[in-house]
């Protein structure tokens, strides 16, 4: 049965193929009918997963050489969802979506997903908020391997940006807690990118090589770049795919400036909105970057159910200014914080195999990830120029996942158990220094510590089991549990008055859900899941200029724990799919920033004491909560048209991190909004495709309401206008043509209304009216 | 005795030594608002000293000083309530708007750290200069503010009829508007060069003195600027208070510029503190109102700023006078004293020109004369005369 065989399996059931002259939509509709006929009890989620594969295959068939479809037979794992049987609120971005929408990055590829809101601290960064949380509170995976490490910062950062969208076949977004499967951090959701796979046709002898070149240009930021990709096969067992890419991105021109919506004599010190603009009032300083990527993936078929994968993905970003610090508010124009190097390399060896009834679809993976960040602060008027910081974290990892064959619980109930273990260790190197280069001097002076403490480490391991059952064919249930042990170590550093940290946490979380197929195509689901996030090294040890101010360490933090109750209704009938989910996530001991006084700062941290705003993370006393909903509607219309709409809302509140001040005349409130929770937002898309001739046209509208529910720290954040971030509506048009694998053209006319807009919490405004063009040539 | 007052007490002692008013066991300034402090060497309560130290000053700077009728005088209970009605500052304390987040305090503390490294502990070493540079240049530190400091005594820079901030100008444009763009155009280059030379081991005492003078200049300009601009940003009032005092009330131990002034003349310190309180009082009496919020009584604000600046200028003049005395009496430190005077002396030219053009001309000539040619007594007299009353 599909629901218990797909997860972590490397192969889907054998699929049909579209007739040569059959349109994709027609083909998929036919497959839908046949699937429902064969699986009358299938849930909408099962149907959608099946059809997703069919759509993908159809598109691939329409776009690639014969045999290319097999690329995808290994990419349709279960994704990040907690269970095959009991759905969570999840969606998938397909390769075709990426090619047509032409996102600027992997996070950007998620902009049309319900409940996902992409904020950017810089043009070269992007972080997906899922259900109101991001960064450390979501888990990112690449081919099942965890990307999160213990230096992940709290805010919208560059982490998922370092996944090259050209190397991605699809991205799954699962909203809701995933801590049972993925451990710490998976409070708000899970994002998993699936890499493109080499075509591996059976029966091939000799060598097959299929090169492909993609070129891309954009007018808003003078982007120009490309990728050369080689897909090949040697014999009928070894396939490989790899590529190299490069792009150069210039200053980003927006639709205009964003302003405070209220005027206020500001009592907390000066503030100034970022970014700063060039003389035209539209082009944003502190944007632009260069990027080089390389990846190689070898797949060796060891048997019918077994394959080995050796892969490396190397992302290198150069000279990417942090927009809100380039220049910092009020600073001279030449001052700029630049990420000279933002590198991430991931290599892994994985074995996908079937070891019998107790270990179906098993995967064993050994991985090594290296993240390196080198920052340069330019202050041209100073003799201390530049200042540097460099942080490196090396993360070896081990994952083992498998599931049992379905077994009978009783006459009308079957079950399967998914289980696994995982272990990772981060070893951190961190230094900071400044240089003086004058006619008299040429010297380098090291600080006593970097943003983190040299020699820190973070080790964690865990094990989980997840039972999935189907009863009376229409009732599905799951129940899972995970145990995790995390140890954080940071040595003492007397010069900076940094205390040693040697702490450990053991955490158990559980979760379960029920799904009822009330009617054919209609499923009602209720899930209750715990989540947790242990404080990481960034929380425990970092000293850094964050968006709203200087953040210094709190070595006494404890894990935050969440409980998510969600309910969803999914309807899949004919050409219509509807999904609506509501949720409430409560977080105990939530980590939030409190405003600190200069006296609270470490004595040796002059930059902390000198900041307008200093912050320290603390565990909130009481319960924070995020409540919200997300919805998706998709329908297939006549004449090749289809329409899709999403909507999402989240409202976050928590105990006020600040103590009640003395005296009665105060506007202090017991509960305050959580920081940077996205506003009500959504998308609308209308598409027309003519697969027979390879043409498509489309329009996409992204909109967001004003967000004026601001946390106390947001009011000092130079990224957020006083009075809140204005709402917006941005219309894009798309068009494209594809002639199999040989030629592909895509055009996006972005922001037709030339709206001045920014996603809430971002430093950088969205592109103004502009064009993006992509051309693909292949053999 | 606290290190930070030591050097200045030496200068004060030298000033009054001829009168026997200060021996080696002199008590340190206690900040008790005693108008007849030791610094008021001639004992007349008007704050003018015996400039030539011979016990028989040839300089007559003018009649004894009295506060202006429209000055804010909290120490006297602000007797006439005009033009300041009863306000929060009447209790004699400054009332921060955001007492828990006054980042300027850290910058003044950094100034004190630099002082300990460079000019309070004997001849500074290369390591001392390096450590001082680290302190000075750290993120959000002194240099971060100095590099954008504007002197609001001068009108804003205009380009094509529009006001622009110095930070957005090119270095050449800043140099063309150096008086307004005082931080990046005038002060920062001095500090860059002095630190650079100090780290290279060149003339450590001279370069320490240049750093000291440049930072005192910055503290003066910043105190005035922040208290002036808090019309639109109440946090600036806190910064202005902190740039002057290091974040302390009148009866507490002072840091930074206030410590210099208090050590030299308590009454001038008190008058400057009264000026800070005048701004505090104005802010209390004229809170932001309306949408957008605005002040309605900027005349009172200007009056308060004027009172403050008068006292601050007197304080800066006292510092210069003390260093002039060191130039003429101390052995082995003349070059350092002159390096200090070359930087801080001309800071007074703008106001001197406004008050007494002839004296201003003589002062300008004095700073151009060099250490061997300057007429210390005459220059001191000019300063005492022009900046007679706080």
Q: Does A300 touch chain B (CB under 8 A)?
A: no
For chain A, what percent of residues have pLDDT higher than 70? 87
| Joined tokens for residue B278 | 């005048």
Give the helix, strand, coil percentages of chain A, each rounded to 5. Answer: 10, 50, 35
Least confident of A75-89, A273-287, A318-332, B339-353: A75-89
Q: Is A411 touching B (CB cutoff 8 A)?
A: no
Residue A518 has pLDDT above 80, yes or no: yes
Establish if A330 touches chain B: CB-CB under 8 angstroms: yes
Closest-CA distance of chain B to residue A558, Å: 26
* pLDDT of res. A155: 72
Select from A333, A377, A382 the Cβ nearest to the Cβ of B192: A382
Q: What is the pLDDT of residue A86?
A: 85
Q: State the pLDDT at residue B39.
A: 37
Residue of B167, B171, B210, B247 to mutate, testing the A interface (most A Cβ within 10 Å of its Cβ)? B167
- Put simply, the answer to whether A384 touches B143 (Cβ < 8 Å) is yes
Contact between A382 and B138 using a beta-carbon 8 Å cutoff: no
HEC-encoded secondary structure of A691-745:
CCCCEEEEEEEEEECCECCCCHHHHHCCCCCCCCECCEEEEEEEEEEEECCCEEE
**Cβ separation A440–B197 shorter than 8 A:** yes
Query: At residue A65, does pLDDT exceed 90?
Result: no
**Which one of A259, A276, A441, A667 would you mutate to disrupt binding with B, by most B Cβ within 10 Å of its Cβ?**
A441
Omega within 30 of 0 (cis) for the link into B76: no
The string of pLDDT tens digits covering residues A413-447 is 999 999 999 999 999 999 999 999 999 999 999 99
Residue A158 is predicted with a pLDDT of 74
Average pLDDT of span B245-274:
97
Task: Give, for A749, the enclosing helix (H) or strand (E).
Answer: strand A743-750
What pLDDT does A145 receive?
96
Confidence of residue A83 (pLDDT cuts 50, 70, 90): low
User: Could you give the CA distance from residue B110 to residue B255 in angstroms, rounded to a whole number?
Assistant: 11
Least confident of A315-329, A607-621, A691-705, B147-161: A607-621
Reply yes or no on whether the pLDDT at B2 is more than 60.
no
Please determine, for residue A408, whether its predicted confidence score (pLDDT) is greater than 60: yes
- Report the pLDDT value the prediction gives residue B19, as an integer from 0 to 100: 36
* ipTM of the complex, rounded to two decimals: 0.81
Q: Report the topology of domain A2-778.
A: Maltoporin; Chain A (2.40.170)
Measured between CB atoms, does A387 come within 8 Å of chain B? yes
Give residue A43's pLDDT.
54
Q: Which residues of B38-57 are buried (b: 16+ CB within 10 A; e: fewer)?
A: bbbbbeeebbbbbbbbeeeb
How close, in Å, is residue B386 to chain A by CA atoms? 35
Tell me the β-bridge partners of A213: A228, A777
Mean confidence (pLDDT) of chain B: 86
Collapsing DSSP states into helix, strand and coil, what is residue A768? Answer: coil
Is A594 part of the contact surface with chain B (CB cutoff 8 Å)? no
Q: How far is A44 from A572, CA to CA, in rounded Å?
A: 6
Q: Residue A386: list chain B partners with CB under 8 A.
A: none
Give the mean pLDDT of A191-210: 92
Residue A36 has a pLDDT of 59
Which pair of structure tokens corresponds to residue A733? 């048009």
- For the segment B21-40, the average pLDDT, to the nearest whole number, is 35
- If one compares B345 and B43, the residue with the highest pLDDT of the two is B345
Mean pLDDT of all residues in B253-263: 98
Q: pLDDT per residue over B31-43, tens digit each? A: 333 333 333 433 3
Whole-number pLDDT of residue A30:
56
CB–CB of B101 and A545 under 8 A? no
Stretch B265-281: mean pLDDT: 97
A687-726 pLDDT, tens per residue? 999 988 999 999 999 999 999 999 988 887 889 998 899 9
Selected for mutation to probe chain A from B114, B137, B242 (highest A CB count within 10 Å) is B137
Nearest Cα neighbor of A125 from A315, A281, A388, A311 is: A315
For residue A45, the model assigns a pLDDT of 54
**A441 contact B CB<8A:** yes
Least CA distance to B201: which residue of chain A? Answer: A440
Distance from CA of B26 to the nearest CA of A (A): 33
pLDDT at A436: 96
**What would the mean pLDDT of A743-755 be, rounded to a whole number?**
98
- Confidence band, pLDDT 50/70/90 cuts, at residue A666: low
Q: Is the pLDDT of residue A20 over 90?
A: no
Cross-chain CB nearest to A263 (options B106, B137, B291): B291
Task: Report chain A's mean pLDDT, rounded to a whole number.
Answer: 88
Residue B210: pLDDT band (50, 70, 90) is very high
Minimum mean pLDDT range among A660-669, B101-110, B308-317? A660-669
Residue A279 CB contacts under 8 Å (≥ 6 apart), including other chains: none
pLDDT of residue A50: 60
Q: How far apart are CA A480 and CA B377, in angstroms?
A: 90
Predicted pLDDT of residue A468: 94
For A90-105, write each residue's pLDDT tens digit.
999 999 999 999 999 9
In chain B, which residues have their Cβ closer than 8 Å to the Cβ of A715?
none
Locate B126 and state its tokens.
């290369």
Cis before B260? omega within 30: no
Q: CB distance A438–B135 less than 8 Å?
A: no
**Shortest alpha-carbon distance between residue A665 and chain B (Å):** 14
Check CB contact of A278 with chain B, cutoff 8 Å.
no
**Residue A440: partners with Cβ closer than 8 Å, 6 or more residues away:** B196, B197, B199, B200, B202
The mean pLDDT value for B254-262 works out to 98
**Closest residue, chain B, to A383 (C-alpha):** B192
Residue numbers in B near A381 (CB within 8 A): 147, 171, 184, 188, 192
Supply the DSSP symbol for A251: P
Question: Do residue B167 and residue A331 have CB atoms under 8 angstroms apart?
Answer: yes
Measure Cα distances from A155 to A223, A536, A686, B263, B355 in Å: 26, 14, 33, 48, 55
Where in chain B are the domains? 3-386
Among A266, A437, A660, the strongest candidate for a mutation testing the B interface, having the largest count of B CBs within 10 A, is A266
A666 at interface of B, judged by CB pairs closer than 8 A: no
Q: Does A159 touch chain B (CB under 8 A)?
A: no
The pLDDT of A111-124, averaged and rounded, is 92
Is residue A5 predicted with pLDDT exceeding 80?
A: no
Cβ-Cβ pairs closer than 8 A, A with B, add up to: 142
Residues of B in contact with A611 (CB under 8 A): 103, 139-140
Least confident of A41-45, A453-457, A499-503, B289-293: A41-45
Quick check: bond before A386 cis, omega within 30?
yes
Chain B contact present for A495, CB below 8 A: no
Determine whether the interchain pair B235/A610 forms a contact, defined as Cβ–Cβ distance below 8 Å.
no
Chain B residues in contact with A377 by the CB 8 A cut-off are: 139
A610 to B141: CB separation less than 8 angstroms, yes or no:
yes
pLDDT of residue B291: 74
Burial class of residue A428, CB neighbours in 10 A (0-12, 13-18, 19+): buried
> pLDDT at position A183, please?
94
pLDDT digit string, tens, across residues A598-644: 888 988 787 888 787 888 999 999 999 999 999 999 999 999 999 99
Whole-number pLDDT of residue A545: 84
Residue among B97, B110, B200 minimizing CB distance to A440: B200
Residue of A nearest to B167 (CA): A332
Q: Is pLDDT above 60 for A64?
A: no
pLDDT of the residue at B96: 94
Q: Which residues of B touch A333 (CB under 8 A)?
A: 167-169
Q: Looking at the complex, does the CB of residue A444 fall below 8 Å from at least one CB of chain B?
A: no
Residue of B126, B140, B181 to mutate, testing the A interface (most A Cβ within 10 Å of its Cβ): B140
Would you say residue B9 has pLDDT above 60? Answer: no
| Percent of chain A at pLDDT exceeding 90 | 74
pLDDT at A48: 57
Whether the predicted pLDDT of A500 surpasses 80: yes
Best of A262, A376, A440 to disrupt the B interface (most B CBs within 10 Å) is A440
- Please, which residues bridge with residue A238 across strands? A234, A300
CB contact at 8 A, A692 and A661: no
User: Which of A268, A441, A611 is opposite residue B98, by nearest beta carbon?
Assistant: A268
């Amino acid at each position: 049965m599909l629901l218990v065989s797909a997860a972590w399996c490397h192969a889907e059931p054998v699929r049909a193929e579209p007739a040569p002259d059959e349109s994709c939509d027609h083909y998929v509709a036919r497959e839908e009918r046949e699937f429902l006929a064969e699986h009358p009890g299938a849930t909408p989620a099962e149907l959608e997963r099946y059809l997703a594969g069919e759509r993908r295959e159809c598109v691939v068939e329409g776009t690639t050489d014969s045999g290319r479809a097999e690329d995808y037979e290994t990419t349709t794992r279960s994704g990040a969802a907690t269970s095959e049987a009991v759905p969570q609120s999840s969606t998938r971005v397909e390769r075709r979506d990426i090619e047509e929408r032409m996102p600027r990055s992997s996070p950007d590829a998620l902009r049309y997903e319900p409940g996902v809101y992409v904020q950017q601290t810089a043009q070269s960064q992007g972080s997906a908020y899922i259900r109101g949380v991001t960064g450390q509170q979501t888990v990112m995976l690449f081919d099942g391997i965890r990307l999160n490490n213990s230096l992940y910062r709290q805010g919208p950062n560059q982490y998922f940006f370092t996944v090259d969208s050209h190397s991605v076949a699809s991205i799954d977004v699962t909203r809701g807690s995933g801590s049972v499967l993925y451990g710490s951090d998976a409070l708000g959701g899970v994002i998993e990118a699936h890499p493109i796979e080499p075509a591996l046709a059976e029966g091939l002898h000799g060598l097959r090589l299929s090169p492909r070149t993609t070129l891309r240009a954009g007018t808003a930021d003078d982007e120009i770049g490309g990728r050369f990709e080689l897909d090949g096969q040697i014999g009928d067992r070894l396939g490989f795919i790899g590529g190299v890419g490069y792009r150069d991105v210039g200053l980003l021109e927006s639709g205009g400036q964003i302003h405070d919506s209220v005027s206020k004599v500001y009592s907390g010190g000066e503030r100034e909105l970022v970014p700063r603009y060039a003389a035209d009032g539209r082009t944003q300083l502190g944007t632009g970057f260069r990027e080089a990527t390389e990846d190689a993936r070898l797949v060796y078929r060891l048997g019918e159910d077994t394959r080995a994968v050796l892969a490396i993905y190397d992302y290198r970003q150069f000279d990417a200014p942090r927009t809100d610090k380039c220049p910092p508010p009020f600073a001279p124009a030449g001052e700029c914080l630049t990420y000279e190097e933002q590198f991430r390399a991931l290599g892994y060896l994985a074995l996908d195999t079937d070891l019998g009834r107790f270990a179906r679809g098993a995967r064993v993976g050994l991985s090594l990830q290296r993240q390196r960040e080198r920052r340069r602060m330019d202050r041209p008027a100073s003799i201390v120029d530049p200042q540097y910081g460099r942080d490196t974290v090396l993360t070896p990892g081990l994952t083992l996942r498998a599931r049992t064959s379905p077994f009978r619980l009783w006459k009308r109930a079957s079950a399967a158990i998914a289980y696994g273990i995982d272990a990772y260790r981060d070893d951190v190197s961190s230094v900071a220094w400044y240089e003086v280069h004058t006619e008299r001097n040429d010297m380098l002076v090291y600080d006593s510590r970097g943003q983190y403490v040299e020699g820190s480490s973070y080790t964690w391991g865990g094990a989980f089991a997840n039972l999935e059952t189907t009863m009376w064919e229409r009732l599905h249930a799951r129940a899972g549990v995970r145990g995790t042990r995390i140890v954080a170590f940071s040595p003492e550093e007397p010069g900076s008055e940094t205390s040693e940290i040697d702490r450990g946490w053991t955490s158990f979380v559980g979760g379960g859900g029920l799904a009822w197929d009330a009617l054919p195509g209609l499923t009602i689901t209720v899930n209750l899941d715990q989540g947790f996030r242990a404080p990481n090294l960034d929380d425990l040890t970092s000293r850094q200029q964050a968006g709203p101010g200087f953040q210094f360490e709190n070595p006494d933090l404890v894990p935050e724990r969440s409980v998510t109750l969600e309910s969803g209704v999914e309807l899949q009938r004919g050409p219509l799919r509807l999904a609506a989910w509501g949720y409430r996530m409560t977080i105990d001991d939530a980590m939030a920033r409190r405003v600190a006084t200069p006296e609270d700062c470490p004595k040796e941290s002059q930059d902390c004491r000198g900041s307008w705003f200093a912050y320290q993370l603390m565990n909130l006393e009481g319960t924070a909560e995020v409540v919200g909903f997300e919805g998706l509607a998709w329908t297939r219309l006549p004449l090749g048209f289809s329409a899709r709409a999403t909507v999402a809302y989240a409202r976050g509140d928590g105990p006020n991190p600040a103590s009640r001040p003395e005296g009665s005349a105060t506007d202090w409130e017991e509960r305050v909004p959580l920081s940077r929770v996205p506003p009500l937002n959504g998308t609308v898309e209308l598409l027309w495709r003519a697969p027979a001739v390879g043409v498509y046209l489309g329009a996409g509208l992204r909109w967001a309401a004003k967000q004026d529910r601001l946390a106390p720290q947001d009011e000092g954040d130079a990224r957020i206008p006083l009075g809140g971030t204005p709402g917006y509506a941005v219309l894009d048009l798309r068009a494209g043509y594809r002639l199999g694998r040989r030629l592909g053209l895509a055009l996006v006319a972005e922001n037709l209304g030339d709206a001045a807009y920014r996603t809430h919490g971002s430093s950088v405004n969205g592109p103004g009216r502009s064009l993006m063009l992509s051309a693909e040539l292949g053999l | 005795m606290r290190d930070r007052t030591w050097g200045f007490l030496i200068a004060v002692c030298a000033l009054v030594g001829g009168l026997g008013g200060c021996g080696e066991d002199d008590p340190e300034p206690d900040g008790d608002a005693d108008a007849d402090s030791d610094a008021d060497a001639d004992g007349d309560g008007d704050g003018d000293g015996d400039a030539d130290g011979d016990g028989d000053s040839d300089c007559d700077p003018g009649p004894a000083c009295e506060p202006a009728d429209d000055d804010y005088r909290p120490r006297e209970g602000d007797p006439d309530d005009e033009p300041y009605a009863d306000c929060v500052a009447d209790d004699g304390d400054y009332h921060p708007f955001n007492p828990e987040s006054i980042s300027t305090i850290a910058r003044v503390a950094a100034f004190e750290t630099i002082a300990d490294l460079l000019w309070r502990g004997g001849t500074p070493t290369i390591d001392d200069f390096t450590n001082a540079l680290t302190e000075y240049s750290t993120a959000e530190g002194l240099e971060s503010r100095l590099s954008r400091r504007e002197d609001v005594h001068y009108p804003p820079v205009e380009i094509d009829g529009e006001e622009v901030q110095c930070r957005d100008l090119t270095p050449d444009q800043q140099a063309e508007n150096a008086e307004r763009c005082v931080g990046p155009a005038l002060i920062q280059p001095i500090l860059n060069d002095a630190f650079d030379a100090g780290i290279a081991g060149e003339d450590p005492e001279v370069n320490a003195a240049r750093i000291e003078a440049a930072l005192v200049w910055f503290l003066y300009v910043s105190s005035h600027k922040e208290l002036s601009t808090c019309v639109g940003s109440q946090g600036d009032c806190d910064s202005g208070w902190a740039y002057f005092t290091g974040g302390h009330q009148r009866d507490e131990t002072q840091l930074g510029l206030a410590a210099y002034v208090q050590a030299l003349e308590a009454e001038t310190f008190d008058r400057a503190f009264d000026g800070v309180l005048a701004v505090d009082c104005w802010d209390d009496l004229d809170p932001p109102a309306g949408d957008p919020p605005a002040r309605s009584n900027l005349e009172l604000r200007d009056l308060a700023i004027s009172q403050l600046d008068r006292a601050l200028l007197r304080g800066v003049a006292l510092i210069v006078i003390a260093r002039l005395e060191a130039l003429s009496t101390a052995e082995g430190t003349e070059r350092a004293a002159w390096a200090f005077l070359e930087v801080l002396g001309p800071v007074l030219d703008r106001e001197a020109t406004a008050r007494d053009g002839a004296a201003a001309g003589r002062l300008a000539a004095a700073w151009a004369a060099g250490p061997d040619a300057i007429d210390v007594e005459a220059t001191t007299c000019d300063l005492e005369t022009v900046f007679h009353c706080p």
